[in-house]
Structures are given as C-alpha cells and as structure tokens.
Amino acid sequence: MAFAAYFLHKILPTDENSDTIMTITTPYIMYILAEELGASGVLAVVCGGLYLSTKKNEIFTAATRIHTVPVWSNFIFLLNGLAFTMIGLDLPKI
C-alpha cells in the first residue's frame, strides 16, 4: 500500500490541499486493507509511514510540507484533548 501511495503521489497532479488530505487518509486506507487481507493493520500503517517518511522530500514540495505541518499539529492536539477528556470523564467511576 505504501508503494501504491507513493506512486499516486508521484503521478497525480496535486496541490497542497489534496496532498494534505492524502496524508490524512492514507493511513486509514492502509489499515483497512491490511485488516481485510488478514494482516496486522497497525504494523501495516507503521511500515507504510516509515517508508513514506523516507520519501517525503521526493513526494512533497516545500509549500506542501509548510501547509501540512500545522494541519497535523492541530490534528494531534485534538486527539490528545479527546483522549484526556475521555480519561477525565471515566476518572470519577474509577
């Protein structure tokens, strides 16, 4: 799947927004395909992410990297906030 994502990134005429969307959706697609094939989805995403991170300078332009970093920072911030909110809601029960 990482090879397919790399190939798609290389051949498709993309801009910063579509590249950002592809970076968000590619791990989910990797996970679902691996689970459907009976493999570990988590390992597929980790291996795919490591491969694509080594090829990021070939895939993305500088403008794309500048655009994608704040999007991922906000995404991580929201996930951390959601995780700690869920922990805080379950804390009184514990």
* pTM of the model as a whole: 0.75
Q: What is the pLDDT of residues 40-82, one digit of tens each?
A: 999 999 999 999 889 888 888 888 888 888 999 999 999 999 9
Name every residue whose Cβ is closer than 8 Å to that of residue 43 and which is 6 or more positions away in sequence.
Answer: 34
Give the helix/strand (H/E) hosting 12: none
Are 34 and 79 spatial neighbours (Cβ–Cβ below 8 Å)?
no
pLDDT at 91: 80
Query: How many angstroms separate the first and last alpha carbons of the chain?
Result: 41
CA distances, 5 to each of 26, 77, 81, 90, 91 (Å): 7, 26, 29, 38, 41
Q: What share of the chain is helix, strand, coil (3-state, %, to 5)?
A: 85, 0, 15
